[in-house]
Amino acid sequence: MRIRTVRITAVALVAAAALLAAPAHGAPARQEAAAAPRYFTGRAFDTCEAPSLAVMRAWRSSPYRAVGVYFGGRGRGCRAQRELNRGWVAAVHAQGWRMLPLFVGSQPPCVLAEAKRRYAIGRSPWLQGTREGAEAVRAARAVGFAAGSPLYLDIEAYRPGDARCTATTVRFVRAWNREVRRFGYLPGFYSSAETGIRQMERERAAGTKDLPAAVWFARWRVPPALDTERTLHPRAWRPHGRIHQYAGNVTETHGGRRMRVDRSLVDAPVARVAG
């Protein structure tokens, strides 16, 4: 048998390397090295649309020192976000605020909120979660949230006891978490204590992989507390991995500026801001 000799040029090697390094379709352009997380302990508020810099400055007179920021996702309620950009993030950070980035993507097929049903997770939850995880990283980078930042996936309350819906949701969340981690960010998880958070605790107890690094549980009309949530094991996501949203849709005035907000108690990672 005659053996043919193949000559591989330097140009061909460079082209092959570039092909291997190219991101998958829809993925962020490059991965970033993981950075040490930054933690915050104290009070936080979140509101649908990012407030103006003047309002944020006025609210420095409030008991809050952190703010939830809805930076992306197809299920986000306030899509305009007229204030939110890299300049806003840098300026708010310079004012002394710490930020909790929130991504509202696809929702459980059995989500309770009627307005969210149009954003139901489809038939390929793992693929969809991976795709939306990459989307979250792109959106975070666009407004200046650097690697090492937590990105909190917002999953609204869904019908308890629906095994098929729960399985679909868990697969979506795990895929989203894995993709976010792949690019050096920390996956966080926001949900109602009795649905999404309860399920994350079940998955943790079962040894499931690709779970969130921090949980943000909504349980309203109770005193703010991080260590007494009944759906969580006392040592789960402790320390620096819990946020309790204890009140919602309340109106407050600070520094002469009035806003409707949700209230949270925090001991968890907060955003790193790109320099």
pLDDT per residue over 175-223, tens digit each?
999 999 999 999 999 999 999 999 999 999 999 999 999 999 999 999 9
Amino acid at residue number 203: E
> DSSP character for 87?
H
Pairing relation of β-strands 66-72 and 98-103?
parallel
**The predicted structure's pLDDT at residue 36:** 86
Top-tier CATH class for 10-270: alpha beta
**The predicted structure's pLDDT at residue 70:** 98
Q: For 61-83, what is the mean pLDDT?
A: 95
Q: For 94-119, what is the mean pLDDT?
A: 98
Cα–Cα distance for residue pair 160/199, rounded to 1 Å: 10
**The predicted structure's pLDDT at residue 31:** 67
For tokens 């379709």, the residue is 25
**The predicted structure's pLDDT at residue 27:** 61
**The predicted structure's pLDDT at residue 35:** 81
**The predicted structure's pLDDT at residue 275:** 82
Computed over every residue of the chain, the mean pLDDT equals 91
Longest C-alpha distance within the chain, in Å?
88
User: pTM of the full predicted structure?
Assistant: 0.89
> DSSP character for 104?
-
Helix (H, G, I), strand (E, B) or coil at 107: strand
207-265 pLDDT per residue, tens: 999 999 999 999 999 999 999 999 999 999 999 999 999 999 999 999 999 999 999 99
Select the more confidently predicted residue: 87 or 13: 87
